[in-house]
Amino acid sequence: MRALILGIGGQDGGYLAKFLLGKGYEVYGSSRDVHLMSGRGLHALGIADRVSLRSMAINDFRSVLTVLAEVQPDEVYNLAGQSSVGLSFEQPVETMESLAIGTLNVLEAIRFLSPTTRFYNAGSSECFGDTGDTVADETTAFKPRSPYAVAKATAFWQVANYREAYKLHASSGILFNHESPMRPERFVTRKIVAAACRIAQGSKELLTLGDIDIHRDWGWAPDYVEAMWAMTQQPQGGDYVVATGRTVSLGYFIESVFAELTLDWRDHVRSNPKLFRPSDIRHSHGNPARAQAVLGWRHQLEVEDVVREMVLYQLNKPVAS
């Protein structure tokens, strides 16, 4: 089996590549410019020399068509595009182009070149918006509250339309938050872990964050890539919520990180309203019942385990990485 992972340089791309290699796949990966891609995750996971890389701009149809024609994959995993909710407020057009137009380009290329290729698209729980007391599942209406979420919702419906209209094996994983040491430090979870470890090692810095009373369902990224693969193995494509089913506050995440280092977070963290997003999700709750029943998927690590793994990696990672 041959898989093509679009956006292989990101957190999920690296873990998915490692998982598929373990399944015996021949793995190809793409990035806008592989010569500029850091490849930090692939190297950290020990698989950089086992993956064949191609440059591809997902918002350029000719680029997408060329790579798919060359690689001829059995499965395509679309993890590419602008991935930061916060940055999407600053770059809404690029966000829409890379996520919505990019997904459309891939769907069209598959329809023209290889309609039997199985396609996975990275959806997002951000599409649901603020769930409040509701536990979101595959039937819950989307109410996006950021340019990122609007773009992801657009891509989701494109996938559903191509599955229905052209009978493609196309699936969307509506993934809730999932973390790992492979996250860049611009993501708040990694930012917290990195700062806490520096403080534990003697730094006198004060960590300033935005709203710490938001609530999220945090899982472990290596668990979640297994759900992606499971979707492509089903007789037909479909949409699945992937989550732990447990939601905690960002404040709890912060407290857990500092507690791992025997520190009191209240001595080192401040919340600044100036850093709040123009609109944000207060509560995000997911129901993974369908993924559990149909895919046989279960998360393995709870949020406390995720925190522990991220802290241990941060404390022991090579200085030069």
Minimum mean pLDDT range among 11-20, 127-136, 196-205: 127-136
Q: What is the pLDDT of residues 244-270, one digit of tens each?
A: 999 999 999 999 999 999 999 999 999
Q: Which residue has the higher pLDDT, 200 or 83?
A: 200
Confidence of residue 321 (pLDDT cuts 50, 70, 90): very low
Is 2-179+219-246+289-295 assigned to CATH 3.40.50.720? yes
Confidence of residue 320 (pLDDT cuts 50, 70, 90): very low
Q: What is the mean pLDDT of residues 274-301?
A: 90
Given a contact cutoff of 8 angstroms between Cβ atoms, the answer to whether 146 and 130 are in contact is no
Query: Is residue 77 annotated as a catalytic residue, yes or no?
Result: no
Q: Which residue has the higher pLDDT, 288 or 35?
A: 288
Confidence of residue 150 (pLDDT cuts 50, 70, 90): very high
Percent pLDDT > 90 in the chain is 86
- Cβ-in-10-Å burial (0-12, 13-18, 19+) of 206 comes to exposed
Query: Is residue 148 annotated as a catalytic residue, yes or no?
Result: yes
Residue 276 has pLDDT above 80, yes or no: no
Residue 289 has pLDDT above 90, yes or no: yes
CA–CA gap between residue 94 and residue 84 (Å, rounded)? 12
From the candidates 30, 124, 146, 171, which is the catalytic residue? Answer: 124
Quote the pLDDT of residue 125: 96
From the candidates 15, 88, 126, 179, which is the catalytic residue? Answer: 126
Give the helix, strand, coil percentages of the chain, each rounded to 5: 45, 15, 40
Quote the pLDDT of residue 279: 67
DSSP 8-state code for residue 299: -
Average pLDDT value for the chain = 94
Quote the pLDDT of residue 275: 77
Q: How far apart are the first and last CA of the chain?
A: 32
Read out DSSP for 80-111?
Answer: -S---HHHHHH-HHHHHIIIIIHHHHHHHHHH
Q: What is the pLDDT of residues 12-63, one digit of tens each?
A: 999 999 999 999 999 999 998 888 887 888 999 999 999 999 999 999 999 9
Given a contact cutoff of 8 angstroms between Cβ atoms, the answer to whether 163 and 188 are in contact is no
Question: What class, spelled out in words, does domain 188-215+247-280+303-316 have in CATH?
Answer: alpha beta
Residue 238 has pLDDT above 60, yes or no: yes
Read out DSSP for 65-82?
Answer: HHHHHHH--SEEEE--S-
Minimum mean pLDDT range among 120-124, 128-132, 135-139: 128-132
What are the domain boundaries of the chain? 2-179+219-246+289-295, 188-215+247-280+303-316
Residue 197 has pLDDT above 90, yes or no: yes
Query: Is residue 162 annotated as a catalytic residue, yes or no?
Result: no
